[in-house]
Structure 1
Amino acid sequence: MLLALGGMLMMVLLVLLAFIRPSGSQAKATWIWETSVIEQHPGEVLAFVGKQGVDTLFLQIGGGVGQESYRSFIRAAAQAGIQVHALNGHPDWALREHRNEAAEFLKWVVDYNREAKAEERFAGVQLDVEPYLLERWQKDQKAVVEQWMEGVRFWTEEARYNDLTIGAAVPFWLDQIDHPCEALKLPLGGWMVGQFDYLAIMAYRDAAGRIYDISQRTLNEADRQNKRVWVGVELGESQEGPGISFHAQPLASLNREMKRLEELGRKHGSFAGIAVHSYESWHNKLNGL
């Protein structure tokens, strides 16, 4: 009984710690890719993200994690004031022949939420579909963009029909691509703002001013459309060269630049906060790993 009581007290303490947020800091989000961590160390995850001011988690679905583990984790997160969005995606999902894979993911979330209690439900879904990683993108970008847009229309309509908030992770440079309809000169980034409930911009640079500069156009468009935008920062080791990630920067530099980015982002009503990529990299950095 004493052991059981001790375990309960420890879990309560961890949940309470999740409410302790940095003074004056805007709420943050982070991506969790190693799904099994919610089974193995749920209290540690919630204590860590709560202390960092996180109120939204983008949680990868998979890894053999059972529905009861999702229910338990989301319930504990809700008690700490943290929302959990179901995350999934693949570059191929943008293509017509793979579109149903995204539809099946959405159906899984809808079915899960229908069977779960209110405090155990996903607050939304996030699609991480990056077709520009496909070889086909280099050969026929226009055709891939058209198929991607068809898929986005289908997925967002399906989500709204089921009263499900839907967002997407997108690169900052989508506004460099025009709508494939030549009669309509609309940047793809602006079109994406209109389709989704929110976007998480992968604005990966290692200085607040540079991150803000490449995010500003999307933030302005989201202001106009009354949508929400998370501005993403990278903490993992990047293969894209210098100037992309905070991986090699000291912790003091990271904290300073994130604070500055929050100040810049607050110019926009659409600014949801900073989304840190990823929980795993963030946890390692703050623990000196």
Structure 2
Amino acid sequence: MPQRASFSVQAADAASAAREASHPPGELAPSKASRRAQLALPAALDRASWRQFVILCPQEEATPVLDTLALEAQPAAAVASRSSRIWERAAWRDDAEGLLAWAGREKIKELFIVVTLDGAQVREPARLAAFVRRAGRAGIAVTAVEGDPHMVLPNHRAATVDRARAYAAYNRAVAPDERLRAMQFDIEPYLLDDDVLAPRDRDHVYLDTARALHEAAAGTPLEFVVPFWWSDKTELLDGLASAADAIAVMDYRTDPEQIVRFAVPFLDWGARYGKRVRIALEAGKVGAEVQRRYVRADDGEAGELLLAELDGARALVLLRAPVKEATLPRYRLSGERTLDGSATSFYGQRDALRKLLPGLERDFSAWPGFAGIALHGWR
């Protein structure tokens, strides 16, 4: 380009794009010393609703040659800590020393543990207080975790809310260094059969449960676990913002690009609502899964899968043997493959995960609400 020509690079968020305007972070001026330029995003840009970059040409004739344009994270000064779930109660009740020593070696700064409750009370408050106090001396926070899809059902709500009340009551009764950092609920309503909870009802009963838990938590931080594929559930996530202090995203993938892509919408959500967002990765053993593909059978061709309607709902019927004649649409098996879980879990790839973690933590820390990476099945 001519030596005097400068191209202005600007960025637009949803509001500015609607006005056909943009925010100017700076100019790309020609330089003999370097062909690389780094520009900070403008402070006025709403990063959660970023839409596009705009390049404005100079008045004089010029031709830009753009090789790459990348959005790079500016890491925070302090990287958020790692955490891990411990599903076995005996691990913290009977072997606190071993558990905390393991957490120290693995640089784990928060443990999610399962606590036994009696209704709206912690069963062994003194034992829990002693463990939390001991963990705190080691620089490790403790959060209680709950998980059951049935918690979302209206007829289970009272018992579910009692669990939140139990943790809130425990925190009020103990000394500050014996308090749980938070309570986490991993409900996953989509795991229920359709005849237990209709798909059309899942989102609103989930939000009803979340609001009830928020009220019962009475100020104790409340965190919810959500799957990465909820990223397009805008109404659900917007509603959850009024009940949750934080969310943990089950970003169960091993491909780094997929991990980042699935995490970003939730990190943006956290920035928009001022919420903490934890990104969870799977390291436990995942069983092999057989995936079968069926295609519509032609006339006279046998098929072992029928498409039926039962009480107004569509259902697939798998036959023990293929048939050539049926009044229902039939499908034949066209192929199958076995998925070994390597795409979702780092089981057997722990060294690879250890190498990957610092880079993910550095990049995710560019979002102010990033609360660290949670490792599931790590111990």
Task: Give the TM interval when normalised to the shorter protein.
Answer: 0.7 to 0.9
State the match for 2:239 in structure 1. Answer: 191
Map 1:87-106 → 2, pairs under 5 A: 87-106=145-164
Identity over the aligned pairs, expressed in percent?
28
Mapped contact 1:170–1:201 kept (Cα < 8 A): yes
Map 1:217-236 → 2, pairs under 5 A: 217-236=265-284
Mapped contact 2:152–2:187 kept (Cα < 8 A): yes
Distance 2:117 2:98 in 1: 19
Alpha-carbon shift at residue 260 of structure 1 (Å): 2.2
User: What SS does structure 2 have at the residue aligned with 1:217?
Assistant: helix
User: What SS does structure 2 have at the residue aligned with 1:30?
Assistant: strand
Supply the RMSD in Å over aligned alpha carbons.
2.2
State the match for 1:73 in structure 2. Answer: 131
State the match for 2:209 in structure 1. Answer: 151
The Cα offsets for residues 110-155 of structure 1, whole Å up to 9 and x where unpaired, read as 2222322221121211111111100027972121221111111111
Aligned counterpart for 2:94 among listed residues 40, 44, 65: 40
Distance 1:139 1:108 in 2: 27
State the match for 2:285 in structure 1. Answer: 237
Alpha-carbon shift at residue 204 of structure 1 (Å): 0.4
Alpha-carbon shift at residue 264 of structure 1 (Å): 2.3
Mapped contact 1:25–1:53 kept (Cα < 8 A): no
State the match for 1:53 in structure 2. Answer: 107
User: What SS does structure 2 have at the residue aligned with 1:136?
Assistant: coil
Mapped contact 1:168–1:198 kept (Cα < 8 A): yes
| 1:265 maps to amino acid | F
Q: Which has the higher strand share?
A: 2
Mapped contact 2:210–2:243 kept (Cα < 8 A): yes
Mapped contact 2:149–2:187 kept (Cα < 8 A): yes
Distance 2:101 2:375 in 1: 16
Q: CA 1:157–1:213 in 2, change beyond 3 Å: closer, same or farther?
A: same
State the match for 2:254 in structure 1. Answer: 206
Distance 1:255 1:58 in 2: 20
Q: CA 1:137–1:270 in 2, change beyond 3 Å: closer, same or farther?
A: farther
TM-score, reference length from structure 1? 0.79
Alpha-carbon shift at residue 48 of structure 1 (Å): 1.4
Mapped contact 1:29–1:276 kept (Cα < 8 A): yes
The Cα offsets for residues 198-253 of structure 1, whole Å up to 9 and x where unpaired, read as 1111100113321111111010111111111110000011246430000032x321
Name the larger-Rg structure.
2
Mapped contact 1:42–1:73 kept (Cα < 8 A): yes
Alpha-carbon shift at residue 194 of structure 1 (Å): 4.3
Aligned counterpart for 2:362 among listed residues 234, 248, 263: 263
Alpha-carbon shift at residue 254 of structure 1 (Å): 1.4
Aligned counterpart for 2:220 among listed residues 151, 164, 173: 164
Distance 2:195 2:225 in 1: 18
User: What SS does structure 1 have at the residue aligned with 2:220?
Assistant: coil
Q: CA 1:51–1:267 in 2, change beyond 3 Å: closer, same or farther?
A: same
| 1:120 maps to amino acid | E
User: What SS does structure 2 have at the residue aligned with 1:195?
Assistant: coil
Mapped contact 1:86–1:124 kept (Cα < 8 A): yes
Alpha-carbon shift at residue 26 of structure 1 (Å): 4.2
Distance 2:192 2:351 in 1: 37
Distance 1:139 1:83 in 2: 35
| 2:375 maps to amino acid | V
| 1:228 maps to amino acid | R
Distance 2:158 2:214 in 1: 13
Q: CA 1:176–1:56 in 2, change beyond 3 Å: closer, same or farther?
A: same
Distance 2:131 2:141 in 1: 11
Alpha-carbon shift at residue 25 of structure 1 (Å): 6.3
Mapped contact 2:280–2:374 kept (Cα < 8 A): yes
Q: CA 1:63–1:227 in 2, change beyond 3 Å: closer, same or farther?
A: closer
Alpha-carbon shift at residue 74 of structure 1 (Å): 0.4
Distance 1:138 1:58 in 2: 29
| 1:225 maps to amino acid | Y
Q: Which runs of 4+ in 1 moved over 6 A?
A: none
Distance 2:237 2:351 in 1: 33
Alpha-carbon shift at residue 187 of structure 1 (Å): 3.6
Distance 1:98 1:232 in 2: 27
Distance 2:228 2:253 in 1: 11
Distance 2:344 2:196 in 1: 23
Relative to structure 2, which stretch is displaced further, 133-142 or 99-108? 133-142
State the match for 1:253 in structure 2. Answer: 352
